[in-house]
Each structure stands twice: as structure tokens, then as C-alpha cells.
């Protein structure tokens, strides 16, 4: 009898422990609305954007000719719910259109921070990582945009 009680208590304790551990291991669902870049990073991205992107995507990120807008409704529709890691790879591999692959990973992260700031997403305390795999954990959430 005592043994049974001990087993039940042990099992209950383990279940509680296990679910705690699991809860703390699961990554919080972070999105572009969670403050995932810093203002300083966006400012660095602004400088990169002006030099390497603005010529095609326009100063206000509105796009021109073949180059699409990088904020707003169309961009939201294109990227909503997509992992930011995909956007990181898209830019790192295919942009700038006239020199694909020429940006360093840190420059790609900075330029995404700038795009997010222009898109009305809040800045936070932590810089956006310059690592596509880490950015797969973060989602572009268009509903975070204040229009």
C-alpha cells in the first residue's frame, strides 16, 4: 500500500516536472510584432539600404519598375506567416539585384531590421540574428503592421 502511494506520488511529480521542462523548452512564438530588432540595428540597415537597395527599390521602399515594394500591403501578402529565415535567404542569395550574394550576413540582418522599422514593426532590446537557421524560428506577421 505504501509502495503504491509512493509510486503514484513519484509519477505525479515526474509528470509535473516533465511538462514544466517541456513548456520551457518550447520556443515562444515570436513574430515581427515581438520587438525582434533594435533601433541601432535599423539605423545601420538604413545606411546599407541607401547604398545597396534604394536605387531599385526606391527611397521609401515603395519599389519601382521591376523591383517590388519592401513594406506595405503587397509585401505583407507575400511574406505573411513566412519564417524570417526565408526572407534572410532570399535577400542573401538573390540581392542586390545587380550584385547577388555580395552582402555579409550581418548586413542582411541589419537591412531586414531597417525594413521592419519602415514597415511599422516595433523595435526591441535584442538584435535580429544574422543566421538563417535562427531566423526560421521567427515569423513575419503582417497583422502587426499599423496602417
Binding site for ligand HEC (CB under 6 A): 52-53, 55-57, 66-68, 70, 75, 78, 90-91, 94-98, 103, 111
Closest by Cα among 61, 64, 83, 90 to 73:
61
Q: Are 55 and 124 in contact (CB under 8 A)?
A: no
Half-sphere exposure of 82 (CA within 13 A, CB side): 14
Q: How far is the CB of 75 from ligand HEC (least distance, A)?
A: 5
Q: How far is the CB of 47 from ligand HEC (least distance, A)?
A: 11
Q: How far is the CB of 69 from ligand HEC (least distance, A)?
A: 7
Would you say 96 or 144 has its CB closer to ligand HEC? 96
Q: How many Å apart are CA 115 and CA 26, to the nearest integer?
A: 28
Would you say 15 or 93 has its CB closer to ligand HEC? 93
Amino acid at each position: 500500500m505504501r509502495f503504491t502511494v509512493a509510486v503514484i506520488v513519484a509519477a505525479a511529480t515526474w509528470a509535473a516536472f516533465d511538462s514544466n521542462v517541456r513548456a520551457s523548452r518550447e520556443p515562444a512564438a515570436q513574430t515581427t510584432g515581438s520587438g525582434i530588432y533594435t533601433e541601432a540595428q535599423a539605423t545601420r540597415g538604413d545606411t546599407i539600404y541607401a547604398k545597396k537597395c534604394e536605387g531599385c527599390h526606391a527611397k521609401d521602399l515603395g519599389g519601382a519598375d521591376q523591383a517590388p515594394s519592401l513594406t506595405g500591403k503587397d509585401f505583407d501578402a507575400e511574406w505573411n506567416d513566412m519564417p524570417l529565415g526565408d526572407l534572410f535567404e532570399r535577400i542573401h542569395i538573390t540581392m542586390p539585384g545587380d550584385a547577388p550574394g555580395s552582402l555579409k550576413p550581418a548586413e542582411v540582418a541589419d537591412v531586414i531590421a531597417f525594413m521592419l522599422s519602415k514597415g511599422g514593426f516595433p523595435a526591441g532590446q535584442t538584435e535580429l540574428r544574422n543566421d538563417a537557421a535562427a531566423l526560421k524560428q521567427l515569423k513575419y506577421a503582417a497583422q502587426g503592421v499599423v496602417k
